[in-house]
Amino acid sequence: MPDTRLPLLLEASDLRQRLGREGVLIVDLSQAQVHQQYHIPGAVHLDYGRIISHQPPTVGLLPDAAHLAATFSSLGIRPDSHVVAYDEEGGGKAARFLWTLEVCGHAQGSLLNGGLHAWLSEDHPITNLPREVSGSDFKVELNGHALADQAYVLSHLGRADVAIVDARSPAEYRGEDVRTRRGGHIPGAVNIEWTRVHDHRRHLRLKSEDDLHHIFQAAGITPEKQIITYCQSHHRSALIYFTLKYLGYPRVKGYPGSWSDWGNSADTPIET
């Protein structure tokens, strides 16, 4: 029977016990050359570029439903699949993939805590053999509960019950590192750089729940608020989105396009 008891954040030792288990699909978003060299046994590779689209100068947008349905079908994702995602960079790409699945109506997913770094650090098995994939007929059922766009953010600026988290670097947030037509940040946003949730002593796993709660609550990011996360393209901020969901925050949205959308628009308000 499919395993439906996996937690949102999955440890390497727990995944090892489930290798080959029916209903568990492992998806590797590492770079292709890394996957070809070594990956978790049974993992299927997914190029990160297949789950984002660009409309220059805006990047990191959500592809259309037909494209996403074809992509997820090619991975063999079925309604009863529990997807475990990982990457080689600390979870940003894997978290964006899980967020995309959620937006498309598939909420059964876990992030491998620490990704490939943590897996290798504990000498779990690896292989370079490709997995044979049986396709599926994935049906996209788009929902908006996890999705924010520019209009949504504009309509919620200044509200006491809304908190906006900017996951970029402090230099980007302050408008010193400018990667769009205009630099700065969304008015009222607080800066929590995405790497602050990493425990570098534990191979890029997330920090303890207590430490994570302290980081967010000290910045005024509390569970009763509607939270919106963004970065440059909703890559880094996808890990912040995931972390807040893991901590039990009930209302969290990701902003695809993020600052590449906001900072390249002529009439959106900014702060520096």
C-alpha–C-alpha distance, residues 230 and 163, integer Å: 11
> Which residues make up the CATH 3.40.250.10 domain(s) of the chain?
9-121, 150-262
Q: What are phi and psi of 185, to 5 degrees?
A: -145, 165
Region 18-27 average pLDDT: 95
Exposure string (b/e) for 18-53, b if CB count within 10 Å is 16 or more?
A: beebeebbbbbbbbeeebeeebbebbbbbebebbbb
Q: Return the C-alpha torsion angle 137, 252, 148, 197, nearest 10.
A: -90
Question: What percent of the chain has a predicted confidence (pLDDT) above 70?
Answer: 99
Q: What is the pLDDT of residues 241-250, one digit of tens each?
A: 999 999 999 9
- pTM recorded for the entire structure: 0.96
Sequence-separated (6 or more) residues with CB below 8 Å from residue 156 = 162, 226, 228
| Domain 150-262 classification at class level | alpha beta
Q: What is the pLDDT of residues 140-185, one digit of tens each?
A: 999 889 999 999 999 999 999 999 999 999 999 999 999 999 999 9
| Whether 86 contacts 144, CB under 8 Å | no
C-alpha–C-alpha distance, residues 67 and 71, integer Å: 6
| Whether 204 contacts 112, CB under 8 Å | no
| Homologous superfamily in CATH for domain 9-121 | Rhodanese-like domain (3.40.250.10)
Q: Say whether 231 is catalytic.
A: yes
Q: How far lies 216's CA from each of 26, 49, 269, in Å?
A: 30, 30, 24
| Whether 251 contacts 221, CB under 8 Å | no
pLDDT of 4 reads 52
Query: For residue 1, what pLDDT band results from cuts at 50, 70 and 90?
Result: very low
C-alpha–C-alpha distance, residues 42 and 2, integer Å: 16
Sequence-separated (6 or more) residues with CB below 8 Å from residue 137 = 73
Which is the catalytic residue, given 221, 227, 231, 238?
231
- E strand or H helix at 15, and its extent? helix 12-16
- DSSP-derived pairing of the beta strands 198-199 and 205-206: antiparallel
Extended strands (E) in the chain: 9-10, 24-28, 44-45, 53-55, 58-61, 82-86, 109-112, 162-166, 190-191, 198-199, 205-206, 226-230, 252-254
